[in-house]
Structure 1
């Protein structure tokens, strides 16, 4: 266990009462105004000096900056969600019309430009993670924040508009708009904050939540880091005009094409999907970066364990992002019991065994298992089709125990079909 003596001291400190500070009030005011970056000269030196609240604010600033800059760059290049009328009808979503770009003045984008946007996102969220970890391992603090009021300028127009909030970023963690009113706290519970009349979605972010954010920052950036370990330029040319229709990509001027089966738009869309599948063969261009993806995944499980160490040590009940079995859940009809905690921790152990290559993944075609560690450390390409059909999986097959239902029995018993929700909530 990392930093065990320090962790024990911290857990002891967390049993003491804490209160929202004047510094936290300033941070909250700037968050709600969308101006947290203006506090940079105060936050950075305070965090460097070991102030946990300042490090948490620094982490939030990095996280918001990462999302803002990435969203603004995608907006600059006219990003949209791919769509087609016949496909929408087939999926039962109605006869939607093909989307117009959200930016009428979209700028050209090339492959290297997209790689730079994604790499900047990974770097910024890496900085956020470091600051969140420092906050989680620092002195006890609590910072009441309403994610619905934290303004984020996603389109770069200089104003944070309705819907541009931190809640959009964190919506997978719970039903933020349905939190009970803090004016009626659960009876018999101790709290760290004394504020009354706070907005319904206020959460008392504390050390445990800082570690949650560290895990969250790593979790959302790891798939991007995985992609950046490869050359996906052919996929960019073959399909991403569907995401950037007016950014000058090779096929961007051919939407729609002629009609073959359904209608020009849908036929072109399905043709592009086929092209995308064909182009989903990504050569590994940075072997060290691919190997580090496995390390990042192991760090996510370690951060989740650390998160639960801090959660279970808490003695208050102050509008928790993720509650312990003795605390009140702010997510309707989602109570965290000791069975839930035990099942989650057992699942983390199983995931680590898979990442370490001690437990192999099943492959539908082979009696042997797929060694995920060997893949991350030795793969020279990632061809999704060939990995699935079998030929691409051959170099990574091995003998040993293969993961099955028994390895996830506790998770299946406790979470059932709700396991994706808990996975997103708990990180």
Structure 2
């Protein structure tokens, strides 16, 4: 009996009390910052139980966290100063590096491409989830990242969010562990964010932004390699010089997925009847972040997404009255097909001088009588619903 006592004590400590929900295996790796180990362990678990969507959800979250960590490690290598920029990808607060490497236009491009690849892996994992009852309870306060790659200087998720926010969050007083139970709607939400960030990467990488790169990032990175291309005053490049047109198509398709996943997200969220540490609450649920969401906001957001989706799929046109503001020669009754423009862009995209003088190319225009036009009222209504001091925070949550 004496010999069995330590085992009994160990079992009692390790086993949750009756009615308590045991932490998912993914949480251990997220808390310890061992994301690579967590991904490997999750993959092995899914090999043994391919139908376990809770394990698949945990793997997707770990893979998303790894995408963020890998981006942070790259920014740390180049000594990024997050406080000096509002550029989304470069705002990730990483520890100070006293011996940074010199960054170049091309090396930053490789960093962003790796980030998009990592996001694609997480999205593919989450897309395979089929169980509408899937859930993943996580205590987010202790999720940590090893941005330095040394294992000695970890940054918690809360520290990242507080630095981005400029102060401590009030909701942590009521929920200090930042406990959240993610559910089926959150699967679609996280997939939507993977697509949104991937669209931004592809949009940036589709055009040549090397000229002026040194000046744009000098305050962010301590060491910047001189660019190979210099601005030629005799032959200025008008608009955006497209160097990888297929990336614009991929960006468009990512944005279409964002619109579709927004609809899927809110279908599941609005159908929920529980109230258990919600990440995205419906109007009858309690919000963990102190930003309650109204039915009007949801309806307004989805109405805007419907308009943008139609525009991105070529089912709606940019109306001619808007085009007349940028082109002196634009004729009435002809709208712009954004899908055609992004799938087969001109080499000098958004060349304002050319558009003003010569107008838009005919292959991008279609008669408005044959298709619906973009309804600006839906866009403006959504903007009104998210106006105010927390408007950006609300919009960021919706994605």
TM-score by length of 1: 0.70
| Counterpart Cα distance in 1 of 2:341 and 2:61 | 34
Q: Which deviates the most, 319-328 or 235-244? A: 235-244
Task: Call closer, same or farther: CA 1:230–1:290 in 2, change over 3 Å.
Answer: same
Residue from 192, 196, 201 that aligns with 1:224: 201
The equivalent residue for 1:365 is 326
Deviation at 1:120, TM superposition (A): 0.7
DSSP 3-state at the match of 1:179: helix
1:29-51: CA deviation from partner (whole Å, max 9, x where unpaired) = 22112123223333013335132
8 Å contact 1:229–1:289 — kept in the other structure? yes
Given the alignment of the two structures, is residue 426 of structure 1 paired with residue 398 of structure 2, yes or no?
yes
DSSP 3-state at the match of 1:205: strand
8 Å contact 2:84–2:220 — kept in the other structure? no
Q: Which deviates the most, 216-225 or 391-400? A: 391-400
| Counterpart Cα distance in 2 of 1:315 and 1:379 | 47
DSSP 3-state at the match of 1:234: coil
Task: Call closer, same or farther: CA 1:200–1:390 in 2, change over 3 Å.
Answer: farther
Deviation at 1:349, TM superposition (A): 0.9
| Counterpart Cα distance in 1 of 2:382 and 2:163 | 23
| Counterpart Cα distance in 2 of 1:34 and 1:392 | 56
Given the alignment of the two structures, is residue 329 of structure 1 paired with residue 287 of structure 2, yes or no?
yes
Matches within 5 A, 1:232-381: 232-237=209-214, 239-250=216-227, 281-332=239-290, 334-357=291-314, 358-360=316-318, 362-363=322-323, 364-366=325-327, 369-381=335-347
Q: How many residue pairs are counted as aligned between the two chains?
A: 350
DSSP 3-state at the match of 1:144: strand
Deviation at 1:181, TM superposition (A): 6.0
The equivalent residue for 2:111 is 117
| Counterpart Cα distance in 1 of 2:142 and 2:26 | 13
| Counterpart Cα distance in 1 of 2:306 and 2:79 | 42
The equivalent residue for 1:214 is 191
1:243-284: CA deviation from partner (whole Å, max 9, x where unpaired) = 333143359xxxxxxxxxxxxxxxxxxxx9xx9xx7785432
Matches within 5 A, 1:73-92: 73-80=74-81
Given the alignment of the two structures, is residue 31 of structure 1 paired with residue 30 of structure 2, yes or no?
yes
8 Å contact 2:76–2:148 — kept in the other structure? yes
1:65-119: CA deviation from partner (whole Å, max 9, x where unpaired) = 11111221122122235869xxxxxxxxxxxxxxxx9423122333332222111
Q: Bigger relative contact order, structure 1 or 2, given CA contacts below 8 A and separation 6+?
A: 1
Matches within 5 A, 1:80-229: 80=81, 102-135=96-129, 137-138=130-131, 140-162=133-155, 164-165=156-157, 168=160, 177-179=169-171, 199-229=176-206
| Counterpart Cα distance in 2 of 1:293 and 1:210 | 21
Deviation at 1:315, TM superposition (A): 1.7
| Counterpart Cα distance in 2 of 1:225 and 1:365 | 25
Deviation at 1:410, TM superposition (A): 4.4
Task: Call closer, same or farther: CA 1:346–1:27 in 2, change over 3 Å.
Answer: same
Task: Call closer, same or farther: CA 1:69–1:115 in 2, change over 3 Å.
Answer: same
Q: Which deviates the most, 105-114 or 313-322? A: 105-114
8 Å contact 2:199–2:250 — kept in the other structure? no
Task: Call closer, same or farther: CA 1:107–1:238 in 2, change over 3 Å.
Answer: same
Gapped regions of structure 2 (runs ≥ 5):
1-18, 86-94
| Counterpart Cα distance in 1 of 2:161 and 2:348 | 29
Gapped regions of structure 1 (runs ≥ 5):
1-18, 85-100, 183-197, 252-271
Task: Call closer, same or farther: CA 1:413–1:248 in 2, change over 3 Å.
Answer: closer
The equivalent residue for 2:3 is none
DSSP 3-state at the match of 2:145: coil
Task: Call closer, same or farther: CA 1:388–1:413 in 2, change over 3 Å.
Answer: farther
The equivalent residue for 1:96 is none
| Counterpart Cα distance in 2 of 1:351 and 1:37 | 37
